[in-house]
Homo-oligomer: A and B are copies of this chain.
Amino acid sequence: MDGCPPRVPITAEEIQVELDRRRPGQSRITTRRDEADAVEILSGVHGGLTLGSPIALLVRNTDARSADYQEMRTVFRPSHADFTYQAKYGVRAAAGGGRASARETIGRVASGAIARKVLAAQAQVEIVAYVKQVQDLAATVDSGTVTRRDVDANIVRCPDAAVAGQMIALIDQARADGDSLGGVVEAVARHVPAGLGEPVFDKLHADLGKALLSIPACKGFEVGSGFAGTRLHGSEHNDTFYAENGRIRTRTNRSGGIQGGISNGEDIIVRAAFKPVATILREMETVDANGNPATLQPRGRHDPCVLPRAVPIVEAMMALVLADHFLRQRALG
Q: List the interface of chain A (C-beta within 8 A of B).
A: 3, 5-7, 42-44, 46-47, 49, 51-54, 58, 76, 78-81, 83-85, 87-93, 98-100, 104, 122, 133, 135-136, 174, 179-184, 194-197, 199-203, 205-207, 209-211, 213-214, 216, 219-227, 229-243, 246-248, 250, 254-256, 258-265, 273-280, 282, 284-287, 291-293, 327-333
Question: Nearest chain-B residue to A6 (Cβ)?
Answer: B89
Are B282 and A200 in contact, CB atoms less than 8 angstroms apart? no
Nearest chain B CB to A235 CB, angstrom units: 5
CB contacts (< 8 Å) of A88 on chain B: these are 6, 52, 194-197, 262, 329, 332
Partner pick for A89 among B51, B89, B200, B229, CB 8 A cutoff: B51
Are A46 and B328 in contact, CB atoms less than 8 angstroms apart? no
| Copies of this chain per assembly | 4
Partner pick for A264 among B87, B195, B224, B263, CB 8 A cutoff: B87
Q: With A219-B223, A276-B237 given, is the CB distance from A259 to B7 under 8 Å? A: no
Are A287 and B206 in contact, CB atoms less than 8 angstroms apart? no
Are B280 and A238 in contact, CB atoms less than 8 angstroms apart? yes
Are B237 and A214 in contact, CB atoms less than 8 angstroms apart? no
- A122–B234 Cα distance when bound, in Å, is 42
Q: With A221-B220, A332-B5 given, is the CB distance from A99 to B213 under 8 Å? A: no
- A191–B184 Cα distance when bound, in Å, is 31
- A124–B91 Cα distance when bound, in Å, is 23
CB contacts (< 8 Å) of A202 on chain B: these are 214
Q: With A81-B259, A248-B76 given, is the CB distance from A222 to B224 under 8 Å? A: no
Nearest chain B CB to A10 CB, angstrom units: 12
CB contacts (< 8 Å) of A256 on chain B: these are 219
CB contacts (< 8 Å) of A216 on chain B: these are 260
Partner pick for A213 among B205, B278, B330, CB 8 A cutoff: B205
CB contacts (< 8 Å) of A293 on chain B: these are 242-243
Question: Nearest chain-B residue to A302 (Cβ)?
Answer: B234
Are B234 and A276 in contact, CB atoms less than 8 angstroms apart? yes
- 25 chain-A/chain-B pairs, Cβ below 8 angstroms: A6-B91, A46-B91, A46-B92, A49-B91, A51-B89, A51-B98, A84-B197, A85-B199, A85-B262, A100-B199, A182-B232, A201-B211, A206-B213, A219-B222, A219-B227, A219-B229, A220-B230, A229-B275, A230-B273, A235-B280, A237-B275, A238-B284, A240-B286, A243-B287, A247-B291
